[in-house]
Structure 1
Amino acid sequence: MYCVQAIASGIYWVGGTDKRLERFENMFPLPNGVAYNSYLIMDDKTALMDTVDAAISAQFLENIEFVLEGRPLDYLVVNHMEPDHCANIEELLRRYPEMKLVGNKKTFQFMEQFYTFSEPDRYIIVKEGDELPLGSRTLRFFMTPFVHWPEVMFSYEVSESILFSADAFGCFGSLSGNIFSDQTDFEGVYLEESRRYYSNIVGKYGPQVQTALKKLGKVDIKMICPLHGPVWRDNLDYIVGKYRQWSSYQPEKQGVVLVYASMYGNTENAMNLIAGKLASRGVKDIRMYDVSKTHPSYIIADAWKFSHLVFGSPTYNLGLYHGMQALLHEMASLNLQNRKVSLVGNYTWANAAIDEMTDILQSMKKIEFVGEPFVIHSAIKPEQMTDLDQLVEDIYASLTAETAEAAGSAV
C-alpha cells in the first residue's frame, strides 16, 4: 500500500524506511534502522529526485505509481550514485520508457560501472548552474564533489527555494510517520545519529563540505530535503551550523573521551582512575569506551564532539592492540584533527603501544599532546600515583584553559 506525504504543493516524499536493517553499508550499527528519501515533483513535467535502496523497492515503486496517477515520469534526477539511492534506476527505465536521466558526467560514468545498460540518448548531462525547467518550477544544479562521493550534486528548486541535498544533512535512524525535523524531538532522537552519520560517512571531506556551504550561502533556502533522515523546513540555521562546525573539525564541547583496550583489566583500571580524578575536579561530560565492546562509529562521533581524548592500550604481539590500532587508523583516515590528546600505555616485556599510538596521532593534523604518557608495567603500583595525578592535572589545566579561552571569545 502506498505511503506518501506532501512536503510542498505538488512535491511529494515517496521514500520509505527500513527498520530491520542492522548495519549501514554492512558496517555501521543501526539500532533504529534508516530512512531512504526520494521526492517526486509534479508539474508540466514530472521529476523524481533520486531513488531508494533495493530493500524497499516495492514500497517505493508503489508510491511513485500512486502519485503519478497514470502520468509519465519525465525525469529522474540522480544527485548521488551510491547504491542505497540508485538501486531502482534500471526498473524505472523499463517502466517509464520516455524517462530521461539527469546527472553530471561523473554520474553517468558511475552508472555504467554499476549497471549493464548504456543509453546515452536518455542522458541529460548538467554542469554547475545549469537549469531544468519543469513548468512553474525550475531545478538548478550545484556540483558538490566529495560530499561525499566525487559525482555528488545538489538540486535546487528555484520557485519554492527547496534544496535536494543528496547525503548532506542526513542521519541514521528511520522515520516514524513524522518526516519533518520540527515534528520530532530532533536533539533527543536524531542529533547523536546525525553526528555519527556525518563523522563516519562525510567527515573525511570537511574542506569540500565547507566549499559547498559557502556556495549555498549565496542561495535562499527554505527547505532542505536530504536522502536520509528528516526533512528540514524550520530552523535551518541549526543544522547548517552543525555542518559548519563539524566540517571545520572544531569540537562542539569541552569534555573528555577516554578510550581504552584492556585484556585483563589493568589498563581499564588506570582509565577509571583518570576518569574519577577528573570528575572529582569538577570535569563534566566524561565519556568512556572499551574498543572491544563499542563499535568505533560511536567513539568517532564523540571524538568529533569533544575537545580532549585519552587513549589507553596494552602492547599486544609486540605492537598495538588491534582494536585500538583499527580505531586510530580510522580516525586518521577520516581526517579528525584539532584535538588535545593524552596517552596511557601498558606492557609486561615489550613497550610498543605508546610509540605506535603516537605515530598514528602525529600523522593527524593539529593534534596537541597533553601531559607525559603514563606507562604501566603490567599493573599500576602505589608509587605511580604521583605521575597519574600529574597527568590528570595536565588534562584538567588544558580543559580549564580551553574553557576560559572559549568564554573570552564569546564576550
Structure 2
Amino acid sequence: MNQITSITDNIYWIGVNDRETELFEALWPLPKGVAYNSYLIDGEKVAIVDTVKNSYINSYLRNIKGVIGDRPIDYLIINHMEPDHSGSIKAIKNEYPNIKIVGNKKTLNFVEGFYGIKDGFHEVKDGDILDLGGRQLKFYLTPMVHWPETMMTYDQQDKVLFSGDAFGGFGNLDGGIFDDELNIEFYEDEISRYFTNIVGKYGPMVLRAISKLEEVDIQTICSAHGPIWRSNPQYIIDKYVKWSNQEAEDGVVIAYGSMYSNTEKMVEATARQLAKEGIKNIRVYNVSKTHMSYIINDVWRYKGLILASCTYNTGVFPLMDNLLRFLENKKIKNKTLGLIGSYSWSGESRDRLKDFAAQINCEPVHPIIEMKCAPTEKEFDDCAILAKKVAEGIKE
C-alpha cells in the first residue's frame, strides 16, 4: 500500500516514517521515531520537494509512482542537503535521468560533493520563480537554518510553504499527518526537543528567515519533519519565534554529576529549598542517567539553571563536561545560574563550571559552592542561600 496523502488537489505528501533509527544524527534519541517528509507537486510539470533517507528508497519510489504512474518528473527541488532529506537524490536521478535538480549555488556544490552529480542543475537565487505551467514556485534563501544552503519554496497558487527543517519536529506521523488530525500536545516535547537540539543554535537566522516571510500569505506549512501545519500554521511560527528569542518560563533545571552521592545530597537540599521559595517547575537530572538531549530541551525552556558536579581525575565529571560543551555550542543565554562544585583532593570541577559561566556570558549568583569530601551543615546552608537567590533571580 502506498503511503500517499493529498495536501491540496495538486500537492501530495510522499514521505516515510522511520521507526528503526535509534539516534538522529547518531546523537539524539528517537523514542517516538521521526518522519522524513517529501512532497510532490502534480501540475503541467511535475516537481518533487526534497527526498528521504536512503534506507527508504524503495518505498519512496513506490509513493512517487503511486501519484504520477509512469510520467516523468521535471524538477527535484532541494531545500536542504542533509542526507536525511537528500539521501535519495542519486536514486531519483537514476530513475528519472532527465530531471532538473533545483537549488541555489551552495546546494549544487553539496550535490556534487555528496553524490558526484555534476550536471542537470537549475540554479535559483533569492526571490526567483520557477513556472510549472500555471503554477509558480518562489524561492526564499534562508542560510544557516541550519546549513549554509538551506532555502524555502513557496507555492504561490495554493499558498503552501515548503520550509525544509524549519518548523519541524521529531516523532512519527502515526496515521494523521496534519496538525488538526493529531494531538499536538503529544508531539509538543518532541517538536521543542527537535528545535533545541538541532536548530536552536541558529535562532538569529531563524528570526531573520521568519522576518523575510512576514508579508507572505502562508496557509499551509510543509516541513521536512513532523506534522503539516494547515489549520493553524501561526502556532508553529509563534513557537519558533519564542524559542529563537530564548523566551523562558519560570522554573529551574538542576543537572548534576555525582559518583558517591555527596554532590547529589546538595542537589536534593537545593531542590527542596527552591520549592520552599515557590518554584514549582523544578527539573532534576542526573547526567549519568538522562540523555543530554532532554536536559538541553528543559534548559532552553526554563529561566533557572543550577549545575552541580564532582571532580573526576583532576577535571569536571566527564558527562557534565559533555553537557557543558553542548550548551556552550547551542549559545544558551539569559539564565539565572547557580554553580556547585565538589572534590576530594583536586578541585577543578568548580573551575570548569566558572569557565562555562564565562563562555555563555552569564554572571552566576553567589555563593558559588565548593564542597570537599562530604557536605556539612555549612554547605547545606549555602545551598539554601543559593536556592533563595536563584528563585529571586527568576521572579525578577
Give the TM-score band, short-chain normalised.
over 0.9
2:212 is matched with which residue?
215
Aligned equivalent of 1:391, options 382, 386, 396: 386
Aligned equivalent of 1:320, options 316, 332, 335: 316
CA distance in 1, matches of 2:385, 2:43: 68
Aligned equivalent of 1:135, options 133, 138, 143: 133
Structure 2 counterpart of 1:266, one-letter code: N
1:170 is matched with which residue?
168
CA distance in 1, matches of 2:92, 2:347: 59
Shift of 1:338: 1.2
Shift of 1:22: 0.7
CA distance in 2, matches of 1:387, 1:322: 25
Percent identity reads: 44
1:197 is matched with which residue?
194
**CA displacement 1:344-363 (0-9 Å, x = unmatched):** 11111121111111112211
Count, aligned residues: 396
Q: Give runs of aligned pairs for residues 47-86 of structure 1, distance below 5 A.
A: 47-86=47-86
Structure 2 counterpart of 1:206, one-letter code: G
CA distance in 2, matches of 1:98, 1:136: 21
**CA displacement 1:62-117 (0-9 Å, x = unmatched):** 00011012211111001111111111111111111221110000001011110123
Q: Give runs of aligned pairs for residues 3-402 of structure 1, distance below 5 A.
A: 3-119=3-119, 122-187=120-185, 189-251=186-248, 253-365=249-361, 367-401=362-396
**CA displacement 1:141-195 (0-9 Å, x = unmatched):** 00000000000000000011100000001111111010011211112x1111111
Structure 2 counterpart of 1:372, one-letter code: P
**CA displacement 1:215-263 (0-9 Å, x = unmatched):** 0112110100000000001222221111111111221x11000000000
CA distance in 1, matches of 2:130, 2:32: 37
- Output the aligned Cα RMSD: 1.1
Q: Return the TM-score normalized by structure 2.
A: 0.98
Q: Return the TM-score normalized by structure 1.
A: 0.94
CA distance in 1, matches of 2:332, 2:162: 27
Q: Does the 8 Å contact 2:269/2:380 carry over to 1?
A: no
**CA displacement 1:111-137 (0-9 Å, x = unmatched):** 111012311xx1100000000011232
CA distance in 2, matches of 1:368, 1:67: 58
CA distance in 2, matches of 1:314, 1:85: 41
Structure 1: runs of 5+ lacking an equivalent: 402-411
**Divergent runs of 4+, >4 A:** none
Shift of 1:282: 2.4
Q: Does the 8 Å contact 1:371/1:395 carry over to 2?
A: no
CA distance in 2, matches of 1:42, 1:92: 16
Structure 2 counterpart of 1:375, one-letter code: E
**SS of 2:85's equivalent?**
helix
CA distance in 2, matches of 1:335, 1:389: 29
**SS of 2:7's equivalent?**
strand
**SS of 2:258's equivalent?**
coil
Deviates more, 1:110-119 or 1:219-228: 110-119
Structure 1 counterpart of 2:175, one-letter code: G
CA distance in 1, matches of 2:28, 2:191: 13
Shift of 1:11: 0.6
Structure 2: runs of 5+ lacking an equivalent: none
Shift of 1:386: 2.5
